[in-house]
Amino acid sequence: MTDAIRLRGVDYRASKEFAIRDLAMTVPRGAVYGFLGPNGSGKTTAIRLMLGMLQADAGTIDVLGHDVPRDVQRALAKVGFVPERNHLWSHLTVDEVMRTHAAFYASWDAARAEALRQQFNLRASQTVSVLSKGEAGKLMMLLALSTQPELLVLDEPTDGLDPVVRRDVLEALVEYVGDKQATVLISSHLIHEQERICDWVGVLDQGKLLAEVPMQEFRSGIKRLRVQKAPIAHDAAPFRVLSRDDEFGRGETWVVRGWQTDHTAWLTSVGASLSEVESLDLEESFVELLRSGRAGAPTLTP
């Protein structure tokens, strides 16, 4: 099995207003996969389906070679999970939380846990109830990493944390991945943070996967063109047009995927001309992808 997570045809109706629809995702083993999407896009729901917290209405879910939900316990034994919200018992101390968590995992690495506690400046005698949000976030990451998981699933692990705490958490994550060659699925709406650490990206919006490509392709593959005398139809274009906007007599602005310099010849062949090609940063690409997805553009895949 070369994939750490594999979903095919997954449907789940959360309410009358929201549903996951025909979700297909592939997280390669050894990848750091950025799971991007605006708040309310369905990222947390999808993660709960992967981890057996919710049961899909249709489709198949495979995690580390195990069917979910049938073999979910065997899968979860190899998964470290940091949920979106603090789930720790408020009356326990940091030391008690660590010892309680260790009792459930034969793979618990006590030396790593203690090293992380010191690295994160967490006092063993502190009770969870007095921890700051950043300290609680560090403790949850400590627990996930100390089980020595093959797969880390992190749901908005740095949301609301200050820049110093975010750096500490991400440095510990990167160090663990380098040491263990683990797979990471990290859900976030913090685009630039994902750009620094991820090598794959999946974009979810309104319960639908809009893109799943290597980060380098996502970063460099979307361009903004300024086109004069733009043709009405672009179906035969050698690139994919994600959106096009009229510039009120000054031509059109096209956002495209798969642009190559020699594609200018196609525009010339249809009577158009090109005045500018602009590279977009990751956040702009993300916004344009959401916009085109909501307008019905096809999914981006390798």
Distance between CA atoms of 97 and 89, rounded to whole angstroms?
8
Task: Examine the domain organization and report whether 161 and 242 are in the same domain.
Answer: no
pLDDT band at 266, cuts 50/70/90? very high
165 closest CA partner among 127, 143, 184, 193:
193
Quote the CA–CA distance of 10 and 128 in Å, as a whole number. 37
Q: Are strands 208-214 and 151-155 parallel, antiparallel or unpaired?
A: unpaired
C-alpha distance across the termini of the chain, in Å: 20
Residue 244 has a pLDDT of 86
220-264 pLDDT, tens digit each: 778 999 999 999 999 899 998 888 888 877 899 998 988 888 999
Task: Say yes or no: 202 and 228 in one domain.
Answer: no
| Residue 56 resides in a domain | yes
Q: Closest Cα to residue 149, out of 118, 112, 120, 119?
A: 112
pLDDT at 77 over 60: yes
* Domain-located, residue 302: no
Split at pLDDT 50, 70, 90, the class of 301 is low
Indicate if 191 and 238 belong to the same structural domain.
no
The confidence band for 296, taking pLDDT boundaries of 50, 70 and 90, is low
Q: How far apart are CA 270 and CA 176, in angstroms?
A: 53
State mean pLDDT over 119-143.
94
Mean pLDDT of the 162-185 span: 91
pLDDT at 91 over 90: yes
Rg (CA), the chain: 22
Q: Regarding predicted confidence, which is higher, 204 or 222?
A: 204
**Structural domain contains residue 301:** no
Residue where one domain finishes, among candidates 165, 193, 214: 214
Both 28 and 170 in a single domain? yes
| CATH number of the domain residue 238 falls in | 3.30.70
Q: Report the domain count for the chain.
A: 2
67 has a pLDDT exceeding 90: yes
For the ranges 87-91, 126-130, 194-198, the maximum mean pLDDT occurs at 126-130
Residue 136: band (very low, low, confident or very high) from pLDDT cuts 50, 70, 90? very high
Q: Examine the fold and report which residue of 189, 214, 239 is the final residue of a domain before the chain moves on.
A: 214
Mean pLDDT of 168-193: 89
- Residue 109 belongs to a domain with what CATH number? 3.40.50.300
31 and 115 belong to one structural domain: yes
**Contact present, 79 and 153 (Cβ < 8 Å):** yes
Average pLDDT across the chain, whole number? 91
Q: Is the peptide bond before 214 cis (omega within 30 degrees of 0)?
A: no
**Same domain as 51, residue 21:** yes
Both 29 and 156 in one domain: the answer is yes
CB 65 within 8 A of CB 41: no
Q: What pLDDT, on a 0 to 100 scale, did the predictor assign at position 87?
A: 86
More reliable by pLDDT, 71 or 156? 71
Looking at the fold, whether 116 and 263 belong to one and the same domain comes out as no
C-beta of residue 257 within 8 angstroms of C-beta of residue 239: yes
Residue 300, in any domain of the structure:
no
Which domain, by its residues, includes 266? 221-294
Residue 299: inside a domain: no
Among residues 214, 246, 263, the one where a domain terminates is 214
Nearest-angstrom CA–CA distance, 31 and 181:
9
> CA-CA distances (angstroms) from residue 76 to 40, 146, 205?
25, 14, 26
How many residues does the structure list for the chain? 302
Mean pLDDT of 2-26: 94
Is the domain of 39 the same as that of 66? yes
pTM for the model: 0.86
The two structure tokens encoding residue 128 = 């969870």
Whether residue 127 sits in one domain with residue 244: no
What angle, 0 to 180 degrees and rounded to 10, lies between the N-to-C axes of helices 163-180 and 133-146?
Answer: 0
Quick one: 98 and 75 in the same domain?
A: yes
Residue 298: pLDDT over 60: no
Q: Say yes or no: 66 and 9 in one domain.
A: yes
**Nearest alpha-carbon partner for 225 in 239, 215, 236, 211:** 239
